[in-house]
């Protein structure tokens, strides 16, 4: 039996794990899916949202339990779990990057995405600089970018629940060390039909950062909708990875 903590990506909330949580629980595991500040049911004002606030939220969850967790980050959630591992290395049994950003020390989300020509997200954004957040252009092809193989009902629900994304966590660089972050086992789950974080970018990150295990799925950016059973199979296979 393991404890899983699930961290969503930009614009999303804990609701994106709604198919995954019951499957993990049915397998006998403890699971917590978090709303980062300003996402889902959390109403933190956008101006107060920072990478430090995201990190604090996850650290508080880890601190509430004695045993280390399997910490899963999707997409932007990879930035968050990276900084969390630096702050709480002993609280993490394994870091799981689910088609997620895996930064090197000193890198931010924006730095990673701006250096990759195949990213489809950035050209579809509207930046509200004075208000401190970004949204999508009207008519942006979100189905193509995020949900290419997902059931229509999941896509419709996701569209209704996406929220503005604070800019500050996207432009803040992670600060990590070999003695803290570097001692935590890393696993990468690559999504080979992802249009948000293209597979070549995923490969570059998990090769540079030397992940212990690489798994793959023939899915879009959102396997928690399109292939939850397979995703849970991958997650539960990691219990003994260390």
* Interval 227-237: pLDDT, tens: 999 999 999 99
Q: Are 73 and 96 in contact (CB under 8 A)?
A: yes
Residue 35 has pLDDT above 80, yes or no: yes
- Enter the tokens of residue 208: 């540079």
Assess if residue 179 is contained within a domain. Answer: yes
Q: What is the pLDDT of residue 113?
A: 87
Better-predicted residue by pLDDT, 11 or 114: 11
Angle between helices 51-63 and 77-87 (to 10 degrees): 60
Model confidence at 9: pLDDT above 80: yes
How many domains in the chain?
1
Domain that holds residue 128: 3-236
Q: Is residue 15 part of a domain?
A: yes
What local confidence, expressed as pLDDT, does residue 240 receive? Answer: 59
Average pLDDT for 123-138: 93
Q: Quick one: pLDDT at residue 160?
A: 96
202 in a structural domain: yes
Which residues are paired to 127 by β-bridges?
134
C-alpha 10/C-alpha 51 separation (Å) is 12
Residue 135 pairs in a beta bridge with: 126
Tokens 């296979």 — which residue? 237
In a domain, 109, yes or no: yes
CA distance 227 to 50: 31
Q: Is residue 232 part of a domain?
A: yes
Whether pLDDT at 242 is above 60: no
Helices (H), 42-148: 51-63, 77-87, 109-114, 142-145
Cα 39 to chain centroid, rounded: 13
Tokens of 138: 């009207």
> Do the domain assignments include residue 166?
yes
Q: What is the pLDDT of residue 241?
A: 59
Per the confidence metrics, is the pTM higher than 0.75? Answer: yes
User: Which 3 state secondary structure label does DSSP give 190?
Assistant: strand
pLDDT band at 53 (very low <50, low <70, confident <90, very high): very high
Q: Domain with 132 in it: what CATH number?
A: 3.40.50.1820
Instruction: Find the range with the poorest average confidence among 96-105, 117-126, 166-175.
Output: 117-126
User: Do the domain assignments include residue 241?
Assistant: no
Share of the chain above pLDDT 90, in %: 92
**84 located within any domain:** yes
């Amino acid at each position: 039996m393991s404890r899983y903590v699930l961290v969503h990506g930009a614009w999303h909330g804990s609701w994106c794990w709604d198919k995954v949580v019951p499957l993990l629980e049915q397998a006998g595991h403890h699971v917590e899916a978090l709303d980062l500040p300003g996402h889902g049911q959390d109403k933190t004002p956008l101006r107060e949202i920072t990478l430090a606030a995201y990190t604090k939220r996850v650290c508080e969850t880890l601190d509430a339990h004695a045993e280390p967790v399997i910490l899963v980050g999707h997409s932007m959630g990879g930035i968050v779990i990276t900084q969390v591992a630096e702050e709480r290395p002993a609280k993490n049994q394994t870091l799981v990057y689910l088609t997620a950003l895996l930064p090197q020390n000193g890198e931010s989300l924006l730095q990673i995405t701006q250096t990759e020509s195949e990213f489809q997200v950035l050209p579809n954004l509207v930046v509200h600089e004075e208000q401190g957040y970004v949204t999508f252009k009207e008519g942006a092809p979100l189905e193509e970018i995020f949900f290419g193989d997902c059931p229509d009902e999941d896509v419709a629900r996701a569209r209704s629940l996406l929220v503005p994304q604070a800019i500050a966590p996207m432009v803040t660089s992670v600060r990590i060390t070999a003695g803290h972050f570097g001692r935590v086992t890393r696993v990468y789950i690559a999504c080979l039909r992802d249009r948000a974080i293209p597979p070549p970018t995923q490969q570059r990150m998990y090769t540079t950062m030397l992940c212990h295990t690489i798994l793959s799925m023939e899915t879009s950016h959102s396997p928690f909708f399109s292939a939850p059973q397979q995703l849970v199979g991958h997650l539960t296979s990691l219990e003994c990875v260390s």
